[in-house]
Chain A
Amino acid sequence: MLAFAVLTLLFAGMTGSIGVPLADVPEALRQLASGHPDSLSAALIDLRASRALVAFATGGALALAGLMMQALLRNPLADPYILGVSSGASVGALLAMLLMASTLMVDAAALLGAVGVALLLYLLARRDLRSGQAAEGGAAMLLLTGVIVSALCGSLVTLMLSIAPEGRLRSMVFWMIGDLAGAPLRLAPWIVLVGALLFAMKSARAMNMLALHAEAAVTLGVRVGALRKGLFLVSALLTASAVTSAGAIGFVGLIVPHACRFAFGPDHRVLIPASILSGGAFLVLCDTLARTIVAPQQLPVGAITAMIGAPVFLYQLHRLRK
């Protein structure tokens, strides 16, 4: 899988409105490594690879966040956006766009919105996350709270879209679909992803316990309250980081963990690395497609993810039932 992920990155680097022949790749990579991209190929690969790296970090983060959310809520239909973290980011980003802020300000506002909603949810649902009294109702309360907060943010988004001037509407819609064009390669999402991966690997066994036994995992020695808080905060952080750099790309966080469950079973110790790798690779492929399919025009990647993902998933689902 790791090899496949690297291959998709390379493929993304080679494909575009101007192709890079395979023979030029080693030379271009050598130039990149030495820090002097002289040839056209090297420059193209540089541009595309950094975009692919952003896509990979985003896809991996969304898939991992979705996996965690599904384990936390014990609901296979949960996705990273279900609790409204992305809606919060949308409110922030759209507000910034409405006020004609710079790209950096839009990103910052999105992050602020996501973190704000996550904190609000955390304060509201802190007692439900704790184990004990809440019993089986805990996850349901959190889910309901999240859905309501999400609905509130959604109405704010609609409000802003309806009062926005024509000229800015297009970029706002693109942001909401999820677009990797112009997303700068930053270190922060990778740090978040690696940190979250470490947390997830450490909690993998406990996540299995929670998914299997819910509250009763306490009697097997799992600190359910602490685990739930951890899962909530880390997945909110992952979602915030992904949404900030690329907008609300749909589908990845819901479907990739599912597809991995079909392929590798429900054991989180396998699912965690598998989800990150396939989530990352999937988004890289989608983004490559998004910028080549009607090149030189570029589509927002969010429009592609479901278009490819849904048929593949349906096929897999159907085959499994036979």
Chain B
Amino acid sequence: MISTHDLMLTAGKRTLVQGLTWSAHAGQCWSIIGRNGAGKSTLLRALAGLQQPTAGTIAIAGRDVNDWPLEQLARQRAFLAQSRHDAFAYSVMDSVLSARHPYHANRYWEGSDDHQIAMTSLAAMEVADLAARDVRTLSGGERQRVAIAALLAQETPLLLLDEPANALDLSHQMSVMDLLARLCRQQDKTVVMIGHDLNLAHRISTHALLLMGDGRWQAGAVEDTMQPALLGNYLGHPLDMIEHGGRRIFIPKENSA
């Protein structure tokens, strides 16, 4: 679904990622894991086409991202930004309807089918009752769920999410993650997301991509990459792992000082 070839990302003089040749296929759910500033968001922005990589290529559905017409590409992949700044008083409904833009940029108004899809997405995120609210009056968690609802309404096979669990309470973290896992399993979508909660990530991910922040990276199935020693190395803090009811729980080790 999405692949990179010999990708290099830099920030200023620092090399964040080097020689990344990687691919994610339909039905896979990837977590990108790394320390702050390791280039996770930079990588995701590059994958979304918001930023040109320093070197290398990115292909979506077998075609270089730069060769896709933007509008068609917007029907292939959706992107959830890490943060939002709402300057104008759009309603929740407006903001979700905007995700239908790539389907009819030539029409002046949206159709009733768009409203239908927007309502379904809002209901999936349990925010249907907020439809008429001004986006600027929502709480952080509500705003995040509305943003994810917009992502769903875009109906793309590839979803790129920068910290989807941000600002969500425990129960909504779980329901959002379960929803993403279902999208992968049942609808064969591809999910690539960034998250800081290892336990949450391990619960739903099939694969993980670890970034060191100095160019090094490691990618593979969760069983191989989400090992305490490896994760501890990439995150800069030693970890313990407990098996509990078939699940792996990661716990940071206490500093023995």
Contact = CB atoms under 8 A, between A and B. Distances in A.
Nearest to A226: B70
Interface of B is mostly: loop
Contact of B101 (A220, A267, A269): A220
A142 to B, nearest CB: 15
B77 A219 contact: yes
B101 A211 contact: no
Interface in A241-294: 261, 265-267, 269
User: Size band of the B side of the interface?
Assistant: 20 to 34
Interface of B: 48-52, 70-75, 77-79, 81, 84-91, 94-95, 98-99, 101-102, 105, 108-109, 154
B94 A266 contact: yes
Nearest to A218: B50
A214 B147 CA distance: 14
Given A133-B52, A205-B101, A205-B105, A221 B74 contact: yes
Given A204-B108, A205-B105, A219 B49 contact: yes
B229 to A, nearest CB: 36
Interface residues of A, number: 31
20 contacts: A74-B88, A76-B87, A133-B52, A135-B51, A206-B105, A208-B94, A212-B88, A213-B81, A219-B48, A220-B98, A220-B99, A220-B101, A221-B70, A221-B71, A221-B101, A221-B102, A266-B88, A266-B94, A267-B90, A269-B109
A204 B107 CA distance: 11
A75 interface: yes
A132 B70 contact: no
Contacts of A209: 98, 101
A209 B101 CA distance: 8
Contacts of A204: 108
A222 interface: yes
Contact of B94 (A206, A214, A267): A267
> 5 closest A-B pairs (Cβ-Cβ)?
A221-B74, A221-B71, A221-B102, A219-B79, A266-B88
Contacts of B87: 74-76, 211
A303 interface: no
Interface string A173-194: 0000000000000000000000
A216 interface: yes
